[in-house]
Amino acid sequence: MNQKEQLQEADAPRQASSKKGYKQKLHELQIELVKLQRQIIKSDDKILVIFEGRDSAGKDGVIKRINQHLSPREVRVVALGKPSDRDRSAWYFQRYVPHLPVAQELVLFNRSWYNRAGVEQVMGFCTADEHEAFMTSVLDFEHLLVRSGIKLIKYYLDISHAEQKKRLDDRETDPLKQWKSSPIDEQAIKYWKQYSAARNEMLTRSHAPLTPWTIVHTDNKHKARLNIICDLLGRLDYKDKDKQLPQPDPEILFTYDTTCLKSRLAP
């Protein structure tokens, strides 16, 4: 047995214990999510949760854990593909409007209209004028949604450069993850600094008291998932809520402010 194998064997009990604890906490939180959905249905609520972030930051994973045990009739995951020629000729927000929640629905956006502030800007898929038009209108659009009765929650999942590279490399070798691979993956590494600049502008210009951004550090996937679910449950009222529901860890999940750009977000 080589040194690496010896270290892995010695660390196995701790990893098993950690994984068991994670699964137990996740199970408890998923019970709370079922209670929440029951309340959403009873109260005719309309809940929209947006998940943004860098490639491989963990959006798929947390969305899967949120809707894993919920009724599929009242929860929808929206992950739109490449816009068609018709989409490109329409009002930018138009392709997203049909997917907004109606009464009794929880809708989870795996990326959203913020594509225009991120990948479209960095990769040149939109013009500078189109990007600026988006940035000057997105808060008006979101505030209109809120005033119409939609409860809107926005999460930005942040990841370090080293962890992103590791996860993207894993996609190439793991046969169960290769469906996630795309030509954009290589660009995510190549244009890291440009994506950072686009992220910073997006957060600064689209953060508002009515529709704030919540930042989540996701280098540790398990902690990120648990903290997001805790935060989501804490924001919404529902019957029989667990009074001992844990508070999110402020080192992992926190509300955006301008000081984050230099001290708390991956450069």
Backbone dihedral angles phi then psi of residue 96, each to the nearest 5 degrees: -90, -25
Give the H/E segment covering residue 150: strand 150-158
> Tokens representing 194?
């440009």
Residue 150: strand pairing partners: 46
- Nearest Cα to Cα of residue 101 among 42, 51, 36, 45: 45
pLDDT (0 to 100) of residue 12: 43
pLDDT tens string, the chain, 267 residues long: the values are: 554 444 444 454 455 568 899 999 999 999 999 999 999 999 999 999 999 999 999 999 999 999 999 999 999 999 999 999 999 999 999 999 999 999 999 999 999 999 999 999 999 999 999 999 999 999 999 999 999 999 999 999 999 999 999 999 888 888 877 766 677 777 888 999 999 999 999 999 999 999 999 999 999 999 999 999 999 999 999 999 999 999 999 999 999 999 999 899 999
Quick one: CA dihedral 166, 227, 108, 69, positive or negative?
Answer: positive
Token readout for 178 is 């290769």
pTM score: 0.92
Cα separation, 64 vs 27, in Å, equals 13
Which residues are paired to 48 by β-bridges? 107, 152
Contacts of 4 (CB under 8 A, 6+ apart): none
Helix H or strand E segment including 15: helix 3-43
**CA 148 to CA 131: how far, in whole Å?**
25
* Cβ atoms within 10 Å, residue 51: 26
Q: Give the CATH architecture of domain 18-70+78-218+251-263.
A: 3-Layer(aba) Sandwich (3.40)
CA angle at 207 for the pair 203 and 210, rounded to the nearest 5°: 160
Q: What is the pLDDT of residue 7?
A: 41
Closest CA to 228 of 50, 10, 20: 50
pLDDT, position 186: 74
The residues near 92 (Cβ < 8 Å, ≥ 6 apart) are: 113, 116, 130, 133, 134
